[in-house]
Amino acid sequence: MTPEFPTEAKSTQIPTFEEAAKFHGHVCPGLTIGYIASKAAIEELEAERDVDEELVTIVENDACGVDAVQVLTGCTIGKGNLIYRDHAKQVFTFICRNSGKAVRVALKASFNIDDIDPEVSELRPKVMSGTATEEQAKEYRKRMDGISRTMRQRPVEEMFNIRFVDVEIPRKARIFNSVRCSKCGEMMAESRARVQNGEYVCIPCYEEYTRGW
């Protein structure tokens, strides 16, 4: 029987923005940032969408753009090749294991979506606070869509600094033995277990002792 998703199948076609938007749930500038960054990196690396950890992506934020990264690159938390670093920066590093090349894509400090459409700065606080009327919310979504289209039509160099970098390529994901938490009884990976009173406990059950450093 032919498997539904053969592991040797590769795709050289970059997913469309519409596919990324469908996965994310809506169109917004944040998603667009991740889409443009990922597309630029794939083209620079001359890479294919990931199947089995051929690509690795390091994201330095947990914002909307990360969803586009997953759709375009195939790098995911579940496969272990989407690495999150809590830097709150619109910066993405894409690594190709086969070639050993890595490209860093960073949003320029000069980029501001309010420069594309200044009207959104007035609508945003109302929409975010939930005080916008239905008409204002509709207008806001329309303007967000327009900003996204404008972003996708601009040369990528206007938005991002893109450069090849030397990085240590992360090892592929590992499978660890499972152990049982002595408190809640749930199973966990041995690598993440804590020891308390001579027994394994999971992180939520672990009673951390600290003296402030």
Torsion over CA of 145, 148, 152 and 156, rounded to 10 degrees?
Answer: 170
Q: How confident is the model at residue 6 (pLDDT cuts 50, 70, 90)?
A: very low
Rounded average pLDDT over 162-182: 93
Q: What is the pLDDT of residue 56?
A: 96
Q: What domains can be seen in the chain, in order of their start residue?
A: 17-164 (3.30.1330.130), 174-213 (3.30.60.20)
Check: CB of residue 69 under 8 Å from CB of residue 34: yes
Q: What is the pLDDT of residue 12?
A: 59
DSSP-assigned states of every residue in 180-199: E-TTT--EEEGGG-EEETTE
pTM of the model: 0.84
- When the pLDDT of each residue in the chain is averaged and rounded to a whole number, the result is 92
Q: What angle do CA 150, 37, 154 make, to 5 degrees?
A: 25
Whether the predicted pLDDT of 208 surpasses 50: yes
Whether the predicted pLDDT of 213 surpasses 90: no
- Each residue's pLDDT tens digit, 90-139: 999 999 999 999 999 999 999 999 999 999 999 999 999 999 999 999 99
List alpha helices for 13-100, DSSP H: 17-24, 29-45, 65-73
Whether the predicted pLDDT of 44 surpasses 80: yes
Whether the predicted pLDDT of 15 surpasses 80: yes
Distance separating alpha carbons of residues 52 and 73, to the nearest angstrom: 11
